[in-house]
Every structure is written in structure tokens, then in C-alpha cells.
Amino acid sequence: MMMGIHRAVDAPVSYKMTFSYFSFTLRIILAVICMSVLIVLGFVLLVIPGIYLSIAYMFMVHLIIDKKMGVWDAMETSRKAVTQHWFKLFFTGVLIISIHVISAIPLGIGLIWTIPMHVAIQGILYRRIFGVESV
């Protein structure tokens, strides 16, 4: 994900970036557990809150790493920012998932191109919504 953000601002990207964010592991695991519980509760209560939260928390991990936020702060910041652009992000997500499904049909070979495209799109969306401080 951070490679996508770096590409979005034309910063250098290297393979070493893959392992440079291990210091955030505990925070990210805790955040993903909290996010998953809330999303499952949203789907159990009604389907629409689950869909809303699935999209609303899409930039939570990015915020934890880039802006060095705590778990709850990142969740709330992501939710508040994404709510302003929710329908655009929802339909972008539907389009990306459709492209992934179609590219997976020929033995998954198309995923070689669509997964990096997805990462780049998320980096561009993050840059446009939040801006990038530390690159």
C-alpha cells in the first residue's frame, strides 16, 4: 500500500519498502480486528451498515502508517474523510473488484497487471483525499 502512495507522488520505490513497516504490525493487527468486528456487526444488524463501514475504513491502515495515528483515530479519520466521497469510492471499488474477477478468469494471469493497478489507484485516492506528509 505504501508503494502505491509513493508512486502516486512520484517518490522512489524499491523492494526494501516491502519489509520496512514491521514496526506498525501490532497496531495494524489490532486495527484490523476492531475493523472486522465492526463490519461484521454492521452486516449482522443490516447489510447496508456493513457495506458502509467496509468502504469507510478503506484507508485506515494507510493512516496508521503514513500519519502515525492510533487505531481508533485512524478508523475515525478514515470514516469521516471517506464519508464525503463515499459513492465515488464505492463505485471505484466495484469497478476494481470487477476487473480483478475478470482478470482472474484466465488462470489468474491477468492479476499480474491488475493488482499493481489496484495498489496504484489506492495510492492516488489516498493522496487526493488525505495528502501525503512523509515520503
- Indicate the domain borders of the chain: 2-130
Does pTM top 0.85 for this prediction?
Answer: no
**CA dist 126 to 47, 91, 93, 103, Å?**
26, 16, 14, 24
Q: What is the pLDDT of residue 19?
A: 81
CA distance 122 to 130: 12
pLDDT digits (tens, 9 = 90+) for 49-89: 899 999 999 999 988 988 888 999 999 999 999 999 999 99
Dump pLDDT digits (tens) for 8-23. 877 888 888 878 888 8
Long-range contacts of 69-73 (CB under 8 A, 24+ apart): 70/27, 71/27, 71/30, 71/31, 71/34, 72/34
- Look at residue 104 in the predicted model and tell me its pLDDT: 92
Q: Please check whether residue 119 is in contact with residue 3, taking contact to mean a CB–CB distance below 8 angstroms.
A: yes
Q: Are 116 and 110 in contact (CB under 8 A)?
A: no
